[in-house]
Amino acid sequence: MAKINPHYQKLRTEYIFPVIEQKLADLKKRFPKASIVNLGIGDIAQPLVPSIVTAICSAVEEMGKKSSLRGYGPSEGYDFLRQAIAKNEFAHLGIGADEIFISDGANSDTANIQELFDLNSTIGITDPTYPVYLDANVMAGRSKKILFLPCTEKTRFLPVPPKKHCDLIYLCSPSNPTGVAFTRKELAAWVSYAKKEGAILLYDNAYVAFITSPDVPRSIFEIEGAKEVAVEFRSFSKSAGFTGLRCAYTILPKTVLAHLGSKLVSLHALWKRRQNTKSNGVAYPIQRGAEAVFTKQGKKETEAQVKSYLAQAAYLRKGLLSLGYNCFGGIDSPYIWWKTPKGLSSWEFFDLLLEKCHLISVPGKGFGPSGEGYVRLSSFTSPEIAKEALKRIKRL
Ligand code: PLP
């Protein structure tokens, strides 16, 4: 009989979203006509913008012609897209197109990057966390090698460098789930830690497009020394509505090194090798669609979408604060981290919002024990729904 990977048995069984789905299904059974306001899901709420649709459609038409057919593309991504990213996002930081790897998602990249490292590596993971980092490392067999970094009100819901040693640290800023982002000073402290400890920072910057605060860096590579110790992950999912298309990228400077015995090895070369073996790249039309994000029209259209999500975040945040609730995030992020009132647990407050307001949130505890006492609201919705949500919350 074939044997399974025993580490899969160590994954947390209560994955939050199926539980939420079940609670919602129960509510719908009891109130079949209930109109549900869903501020739980972190998925886009607006259609693809016209310039992306046009670029994808013309790429497909191109592929339908014998003279311009396309087969497998390069596993690191087409040069036209790597160049567009380098020119538009990283020219001022001295990152080259060949240090950018295109992929089908920041989800896969943040989950896969750990393969490059020794199984005995200690992994720093925030509590609460975007669950992928933890699960990927548990699946790989590192369940006993995780150092949790609490993110509480005292730490501004962001991790602070620990006294203990970590080899790899996952940092997510602007953070999912807490919706807050590192300032330059806070991030510089992590770069110093990584230098001192010989650690590598895995910086998930999937929400870069939502940054509005001037003291929040748009890339970790704005911090001096980061090019020796950091890998950055970005995605077109939330910045340009690509959740259903799949396109993201990882920035891995050639200067990031790690030990192999007494030798120093380039992570860039290893990641290239890994991608060449395990990926046949992202579909050509999707990469053409991503390229269109950097055109004048593409920028205008996608920035308008992000702005509208941010406006809804600001509206919800302001509304909650004016009602006397305590909430965080929602300034550089589409997420609001809402402190539960009257000491209610995350799930108790989730249930209350569902029962009394027919409103879906996400219990903070689902992202880790330090998420207890909070729920996450997402502003990936329409202005009408955001308004309706607040109206119902006012009646609580
Ligand atoms: N990283 C974070 C912090 C996210 O919140 C998400 C999606 O919600 C992802 C990565 C996934 O991005 P992608 O759609 O590119 O896989």
pLDDT for the residue numbered 14 = 65
Question: How far lies 215's CA from each of 43, 185, 218, 226, in Å?
Answer: 27, 9, 9, 17
pLDDT for the residue numbered 70 = 94
Question: How far lies 300's CA from each of 15, 49, 176, 207, 297, in Å?
Answer: 37, 10, 25, 17, 5
Task: Evaluate: CB of 333 within 6 angstroms of ligand 1.
Answer: no
Q: Mean pLDDT across the stretch 243-248?
A: 98
Question: Measuring from atom 11 of ligand 1, which residue has the nearest CA?
Answer: 107
pLDDT for the residue numbered 136 = 98
Q: What is the pLDDT of residues 170-179, one digit of tens each?
A: 999 999 999 9
Spatial CA neighbour of 232 closest among 371, 41, 396, 103 = 103
Q: Mean pLDDT across the stretch 245-255?
A: 98
Q: Mean pLDDT across the stretch 122-142?
A: 97
pLDDT at 366 over 70: yes
pLDDT for the residue numbered 268 = 98
pLDDT for the residue numbered 26 = 93
Task: Evaluate: CB of 130 within 6 angstroms of ligand 1.
Answer: yes
Task: Evaluate: CB of 106 within 6 angstroms of ligand 1.
Answer: yes
Q: What is the pLDDT of residues 6-48, one digit of tens each?
A: 999 999 866 788 899 999 999 999 999 999 999 998 899 999 9
Q: Mean pLDDT across the stretch 137-160?
A: 98
Query: What percent of the chain is predicted at pLDDT more than 70?
Result: 99
Q: What is the pLDDT of residues 276-321, one digit of tens each?
A: 999 999 999 999 999 999 999 999 999 999 999 999 999 999 999 9
Reported as a pLDDT band with limits 50, 70 and 90, residue 81 is very high
Say how many Å lie between the CA of residue 176 and the centre of ligand 1.
9
pLDDT for the residue numbered 132 = 96
Question: Measuring from atom 8 of ligand 1, which residue has the nearest CA?
Answer: 42
Ligand 1, from 125, 237, 376: best to mutate by most atoms within 8 Å of Cβ? 237
Residue 365: exposure state from Cβ atoms within 10 A (0-12, 13-18, ≥19)? buried
Say how many Å lie between the CA of residue 207 and the centre of ligand 1.
8
Q: Mean pLDDT across the stretch 66-91?
A: 96
pLDDT for the residue numbered 42 = 87
Mean pLDDT of the chain: 96
Query: What percent of the chain is predicted at pLDDT more than 90?
Result: 96
CA 237 to chain centre: 9
pLDDT at 161 over 80: yes
Say how many Å lie between the CA of residue 107 and the centre of ligand 1.
5
CB half-sphere exposure, 381, CA atoms < 13 A: 26
Q: How many other C-beta atoms are found inside a 10 Å radius of the C-beta of residue 213? A: 12
